[in-house]
């Protein structure tokens, strides 16, 4: 049917269909009502870096050894590390201060690429707004440290790969240690079995 004004009627039908349809077909409404409904982030999405710890205690399980490679590589220089020292003043493989200024960080992930200890990884937390312009945007160690389980939950593939590698390394180390121990034992046994060379015998 094509008569003058039929285009308007067709248009009205389209809007009416959308209007009524939005009440009955839930998948028409693509809006995520944010505070109640959270988006399912893709695995590779990233916001800012965080530090991983193993086990229960963040301080004890910290993977970071304060090698400062990330600090040196960071293009906008948003990472600040001070190495910890023991009572005698000897350096310990652990950061005393580890700060990331996320108002400076550009989420380039270079720190993640260079970290030899799989210690720094990208977070997915995006609710980082604050009323304070500077202070709350500098994340210190207590805010940066998050458990390996959390890492598993946000980047499962990456985390599984890392954990498998750690497991393999641990097994290899164990095997090496076992072999070493066995060799040492063998050596000791041989040593014990062999009669001691006495000066008299050779004489």
Binding residues for other proteins, rule: CB under 8 A, are 3-5, 8, 11-12, 14-16, 18-19, 21-23, 28-31, 33
CA distances from 17 to 21, 24, 70, 81 (A): 6, 11, 56, 60
Q: Residue 50 forms beta bridges with which residues?
A: 121
Look at the block and give the residue holding tokens 């050596």.
187
Q: Tell me the torsion sign for CA atoms 51, 148, 165, 42.
A: negative
Name the residue nearer to other proteins (CB basis): 29 or 106: 29
Non-local CB neighbours of 169 within 8 Å, separated by 6+ positions: none
CB of 104 to other proteins, least distance (A): 34
CB of 22 to other proteins, least distance (A): 5
CB of 11 to other proteins, least distance (A): 5
Name the residue nearer to other proteins (CB basis): 20 or 128: 20
Name the residue nearer to other proteins (CB basis): 4 or 196: 4
Q: Residue 83 forms beta bridges with which residues?
A: 95
CB of 73 to other proteins, least distance (A): 44
Name the residue nearer to other proteins (CB basis): 28 or 173: 28
Name the residue nearer to other proteins (CB basis): 33 or 142: 33
* Secondary structure E strands in the chain: 49-53, 79-85, 91-101, 120-122, 138-139, 145-147
CB of 39 to other proteins, least distance (A): 16
Q: Tell me the torsion sign for CA atoms 10, 16, 18, 20.
A: negative
């Amino acid at each position: 049917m094509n008569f003058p004004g039929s285009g308007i009627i067709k248009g009205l039908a389209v809007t009416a269909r959308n209007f009524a349809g939005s009440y009955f077909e839930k998948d028409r409404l693509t809006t995520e009502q944010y505070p109640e409904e959270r988006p399912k982030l893709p695995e590779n999405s990233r916001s800012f870096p965080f530090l991983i710890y193993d086990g229960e205690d963040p301080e004890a399980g910290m993977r970071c050894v304060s090698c400062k490679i990330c600090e040196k590589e960071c293009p906008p220089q948003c990472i600040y590390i001070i190495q910890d020292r023991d009572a005698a003043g000897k350096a310990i493989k652990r950061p005393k201060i580890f700060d990331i200024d996320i108002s400076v960080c550009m989420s380039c992930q270079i720190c993640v690429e260079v970290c030899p200890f799989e210690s720094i990884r990208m977070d997915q937390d995006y609710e980082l707004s604050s009323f304070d312009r500077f202070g709350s945007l500098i994340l210190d160690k207590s805010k940066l440290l998050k458990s390996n389980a959390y890492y598993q939950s946000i980047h499962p593939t990456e985390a599984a790969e890392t954990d498998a590698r750690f497991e393999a390394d641990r097994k290899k180390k164990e095997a090496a240690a076992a072999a070493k121990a066995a060799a040492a034992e063998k050596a000791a046994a041989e040593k014990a079995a062999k009669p001691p060379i006495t000066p008299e015998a050779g004489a």
